[in-house]
């Protein structure tokens, strides 16, 4: 009986905690959107895969495909900092990561060559444009 009542108490605590947290989690998210551009020698109508990463070399936490370069949106990202990447899927595999030789681009707000994270904090973040380039072009 003693063990059982302890279990109930723990369950109640966990349940209360979840009920308090859920509304906050639901609101603390946003959409990162923008346009992709391509500066290179392949056909820009290939599928483009845009992805959000917690670190530049980590697995993406979200991704979206677009038909050719242009407008994209990564919906419902939890609050946090993300590195946004895009690549031109010249082999039309429809998924990442990019294969060797496929043109890639990362969001770099000031164009200094160092990646810049995008901060989501409870609202949408538009204007995150990414230029995709051939690897040998720069």
Which residue ranges make up the site for Ca ion (CB under 5 A)?
108, 110, 112, 114, 116
Nearer of residues 79 and 108 to Ca ion, judged by Cβ: 108
Nearer of residues 38 and 106 to Ca ion, judged by Cβ: 106
- Name the one residue in this structure whose structure tokens are 């530049």: 56
Minimum Å gap between C-beta 115 and Ca ion is 6
Question: Which DSSP letter does residue 135 get?
Answer: G
In whole angstroms, what is the distance from residue 97 CA to residue 95 CA? 7
In whole angstroms, what is the distance from residue 114 CA to residue 64 CA? 23
Nearer of residues 16 and 119 to Ca ion, judged by Cβ: 119
Minimum Å gap between C-beta 65 and Ca ion is 26
């Amino acid at each position: 009986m003693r063990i059982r009542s302890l279990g109930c108490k723990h369950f109640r605590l966990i349940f209360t905690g979840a009920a308090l947290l859920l509304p906050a989690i639901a609101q603390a998210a946003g959409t990162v959107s923008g346009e992709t551009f391509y500066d290179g020698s392949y056909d820009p109508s290939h599928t483009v895969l845009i992805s959000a990463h917690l670190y530049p070399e980590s697995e993406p936490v979200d991704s979206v495909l677009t038909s050719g370069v242009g407008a994209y949106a990564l919906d419902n990202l939890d609050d946090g900092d993300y590195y946004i990447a895009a690549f031109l899927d010249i082999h039309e595999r429809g998924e990442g990561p990019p294969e060797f030789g496929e043109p890639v681009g990362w969001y770099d707000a000031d164009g200094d060559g160092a990646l810049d994270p995008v901060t989501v904090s409870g609202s949408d973040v538009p204007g995150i444009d990414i230029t995709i380039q051939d690897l040998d072009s720069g």
